[in-house]
Chain A
Amino acid sequence: MSERLWRILVDSFPKILLPGLKMTVPLTVIAFSLAMVIATVVALIQFAHVKVLTQIARFYIWVIRGTPLLVQLFVVYYGLPKVGVVMDAFPAAVLVFSINEGAYCAETMRGALESVPVGQIEAGYCAGLNFVQVMRRIVLPQALRTAFPPLSNSLISMVKDTSLAANITVTEMFMATQRVVARTYEPLALYLEVALIYLIFSTVLTWVQRMGEKKLSAYGVKEARHA
């Protein structure tokens, strides 16, 4: 490798990593947390068959899952100002990513809720618990355990999807890389460099997932006879 290229890579490393820590990570953490809240509420509405709200929940999932994330970003950031809704790039990205991810994770959560055997709910009622107590103490903890691996999957894809936010001027890692490329004309090396940083982020999350799963398997669910 030429000395020049090496210097470019070393110089650009903090220029790429810093936006990663300042934008990509907060965007992912905030949006995914909000997505979890949305997903849980939307899944519970469907699980409890709340009238009208269930229809709205299905409609929400249908629209969000049926349209591209990039289009959603453009509608909110470039489109909504036409009707007077103007947002900075970062909050717009948080909004779109949380609503988008919320729709996917709601389906994951709904499936997990439905996988909890109905006998668990009946036993809860017979112990004297009410609906909210049964959900909070019996059903949701078991559902979360089931949903944990697919939700981790969603989180890892989201880290990478945040690169799309570059299209609405959020200066996250990918946009930072593009800027360096524009100055140095070294696309191959620099795009590989940013790919490596994404890979590191994803790897850390994979470790976290593995630790989380180990903790959750304390119930010994794998050997459960009446799951």
Chain B
Amino acid sequence: MLEVRHLKKSFGGLTVLKDVSLRVNQGDVTAIIGPSGSGKTTFLRCLNLLEKADEGELVFDGQTYDLGHVSRRDIAAIRMRTGFVFQNFNLFSNKTALQNVTEGLIIARKMKKDEANAVAMQALGQVGLSDRAAYYPSQLSGGQQQRVAIARAMATKPDIVYFDEPTSALDPELIGEVLAVMRDLAASGMTMLVVTHEMRFARDVSNHVVFMEGGVIAEEGSSREFFANPREERTRAFLRSISEENR
């Protein structure tokens, strides 16, 4: 359903992505893990054209895009069929929770207001926040804000949702509620690509794990195999360091 080929990206003289290729199938929940600075977030941002890649190809829904030279219209087309959840939520601070969800429906997709409100209320219901529809982001906890952001991303019925460290900015006691919502979303069959530090999520929810280090994919595999028998020494070292951190 989505394939990235030979993605390269550097900032100034610093090469962040050396040559990254990845396949995602319909319904896959792919976790991207790795040490900070390994290029995980940049990779995700390149897929949604928040960063412009130096070169690389994106095959998405049967269309091939040259990520190094992608037209404004193609960028718009790609974003119309994807959702993006940010580390810092980035809810529109001048809009209520409900308006945050309806904005993309009414303004970008020209949906009628009544219909958009119904869709948005259903999405807010799915993340357990029907009663917070009229609240502004500043009146919500971090966990609630992120759940609204997830509702916003999935209300447009995207083909894939990208998550950029969705729980990293949250207080520890708020992480669970966001992961629970993501788990429900995964169970509903949504295709998800998740940059995360949550090893539990990677192991229990995702079916595919990608380990990135130094701008390349060092190892990938089904999540059960990946955690049971990591092949690469650097993968083992990373997993060891993580488990020590969590102890």
Give chain A's interface residues, CB within 8 Å of chain B. Answer: 117, 119-120, 122-130, 133, 137-138, 141-142, 145, 218-227
Asked whether, in the complex, the Cβ of A220 is within 8 Å of the Cβ of B139, the reply is yes
Interface 0/1 of B80-94, CB less than 8 Å to A: 101110101111111
Known: A127-B103, A129-B107, A145-B94. A226 touches B88 (CB 8 A): yes
| Closest CB in chain A relative to B227 CB, distance in Å | 31
B125 surroundings in chain A (CB, below 8 A):
none
A223, closest chain B residue (CB): B138
A219 surroundings in chain B (CB, below 8 A):
93-94, 136, 138
Asked whether, in the complex, the Cβ of B138 is within 8 Å of the Cβ of A125, the reply is no
Q: Does B224 contact A (CB under 8 A)?
A: no
Contact among A126, A137, A224 with B138 in the assembled complex (CB-CB below 8 Å): A224
A145, closest chain B residue (CB): B94
Which B135-183 residues have a C-beta within 8 angstroms of A?
A: 136-139, 142, 145, 149, 152-153, 156
A143, closest chain B residue (CB): B94
B50 surroundings in chain A (CB, below 8 A):
122, 125-126
Asked whether, in the complex, the Cβ of B138 is within 8 Å of the Cβ of A142, the reply is no
Closest 4 CB pairs of A and B: A128-B108, A127-B104, A119-B90, A123-B90
How far apart are the CA atoms of A226 and B145 in the complex, in Å? 10
- Pairs A–B under 8 Å by Cβ, sample size 15: A119-B86, A120-B92, A123-B84, A123-B90, A125-B50, A126-B48, A126-B79, A133-B108, A218-B136, A219-B138, A220-B136, A223-B139, A224-B138, A226-B88, A226-B91
A226, closest chain B residue (CB): B88
A133 surroundings in chain B (CB, below 8 A):
107-108
Q: Is the interface of A mostly helix, strand, loop or mixed?
A: helix
Give chain B's interface residues, CB within 8 Å of chain A. Answer: 48, 50, 76, 79-80, 82-84, 86, 88-94, 103-104, 107-109, 136-139, 142, 145, 149, 152-153, 156
Contact among A127, A129, A142 with B93 in the assembled complex (CB-CB below 8 Å): A142
Most buried by A among B80, B108, B109: B108
Asked whether, in the complex, the Cβ of A220 is within 8 Å of the Cβ of B107, the reply is no
| Closest CB in chain A relative to B194 CB, distance in Å | 16
| Closest CB in chain A relative to B81 CB, distance in Å | 9
B139, closest chain A residue (CB): A220
How far apart are the CA atoms of A123 and B156 in the complex, in Å? 14
How far apart are the CA atoms of A224 and B137 in the complex, in Å? 7
How far apart are the CA atoms of A123 and B137 in the complex, in Å? 14
B90 surroundings in chain A (CB, below 8 A):
117, 119-120, 122-123, 226
Asked whether, in the complex, the Cβ of A125 is within 8 Å of the Cβ of B79, the reply is yes
A127, closest chain B residue (CB): B104
A129 surroundings in chain B (CB, below 8 A):
103-104, 107-108
B80 surroundings in chain A (CB, below 8 A):
128
How far apart are the CA atoms of A222 and B103 in the complex, in Å? 23
Asked whether, in the complex, the Cβ of A123 is within 8 Å of the Cβ of B92, the reply is yes
Given A123-B91, A128-B104, A224-B137, 11 more contacts at CB 8 Å?
A119-B90, A120-B93, A125-B79, A127-B156, A128-B109, A129-B104, A137-B107, A138-B94, A219-B138, A220-B136, A222-B138
Known: A129-B103, A129-B104, A130-B76. A124 touches B92 (CB 8 A): yes
B103 surroundings in chain A (CB, below 8 A):
124, 127, 129, 137
Known: A122-B86, A220-B139. A128 touches B93 (CB 8 A): no
A117, closest chain B residue (CB): B90
| Closest CB in chain B relative to A13 CB, distance in Å | 45
Asked whether, in the complex, the Cβ of A226 is within 8 Å of the Cβ of B107, the reply is no
How far apart are the CA atoms of A142 and B88 in the complex, in Å? 18
How far apart are the CA atoms of A125 and B108 in the complex, in Å? 10
How far apart are the CA atoms of A141 and B93 in the complex, in Å? 10
How far apart are the CA atoms of A224 and B135 in the complex, in Å? 12
Known: A129-B103, A137-B107. A227 touches B91 (CB 8 A): no
How far apart are the CA atoms of A129 and B138 in the complex, in Å? 23
Asked whether, in the complex, the Cβ of B107 is within 8 Å of the Cβ of A126, the reply is no
| Closest CB in chain B relative to A125 CB, distance in Å | 6
| Closest CB in chain B relative to A4 CB, distance in Å | 59
B88 surroundings in chain A (CB, below 8 A):
119, 226
A218 surroundings in chain B (CB, below 8 A):
136
How far apart are the CA atoms of A223 and B145 in the complex, in Å? 14
How far apart are the CA atoms of A24 and B116 in the complex, in Å? 48
Known: A127-B103, A128-B76, A219-B136. A225 touches B92 (CB 8 A): no
